[in-house]
Chain A
Amino acid sequence: GAVVSQHPSRVICKSGTSVKIECRSLDFQATTMFWYRQFPKQSLMLMATSNEGSKATYEQGVEKDKFLINHASLTLSTLTVTSAHPEDSSFYICSAHGGGKDYGYTFGSGTRLTVV
């Protein structure tokens, strides 16, 4: 089946630094990937849609200069949290659609970001 590899799985960074999270589709091409954010014991909130070869589209309330998305190839999308602050600490998950019409979306394993 479709596999999406996401790393790192955990990262701790200092306030003010930037962190890059990678999301790769391993056995399929994904022209579109999605980035979600999840706070503890809460649901997933869509942050942005990553489009290969074009600019990402961001959901309302998500700062595009804060969360930089690059989708330079059909198998790789990256999310960079710039000038991270403790309130950016969260669980970030990417997803892509790689199967047939009866398949849902394949999610990465998530990245736990802690900003100290």
Chain B
Amino acid sequence: SQQGEEDPQALSIQEGENATMNCSYKTSINNLQWYRQNSGRGLVHLILIRSNEREKHSGRLRVTLDTSKKSSSLLITASRAADTASYFCATDATDSWGKLQFGAGTQVVVTP
């Protein structure tokens, strides 16, 4: 079954704006990961945040994790047209190593 829910389902912004998407999950986790998928392609790992971390940065990406609320957010700052893709959160649960449970995804469109 699908672990997480993501919102929004779709997001349309202009270049230079920030994009924020959220992910909620249900079980206890080791870590939470964010992936990007361009249409018809495989997934690219963006960032991993462990359960004892609250915030992590990587370039223009900022991820937060609130384990009390079982939620995470991904912020893409100063978006570019090349950021157009679907973004998925995935949880690595404590009782099932490696069996990533993916959220429904957020489709982001960045227009020039």
Contact = CB atoms under 8 A, between A and B. Distances in A.
Interface of A: 6, 32, 34, 41-46, 49, 59, 91, 93, 95, 97, 102-110, 112
Contacts of B43: 44, 93, 95, 107
A104 B99 contact: no
Contacts of A34: 98-100
B40 to A, nearest CB: 7
B4 to A, nearest CB: 9
A57 B67 CA distance: 29
A109 B37 CA distance: 10
Nearest to A1: B45
B101 A106 contact: no
Given A32-B98, A105-B98, A6 B42 contact: yes
B12 to A, nearest CB: 16
Contact of B88 (A43, A49, A59, A106): A43
B7 to A, nearest CB: 13
B45 A103 contact: yes
A108 to B, nearest CB: 5
Contacts of B47: 104
A106 B48 CA distance: 12
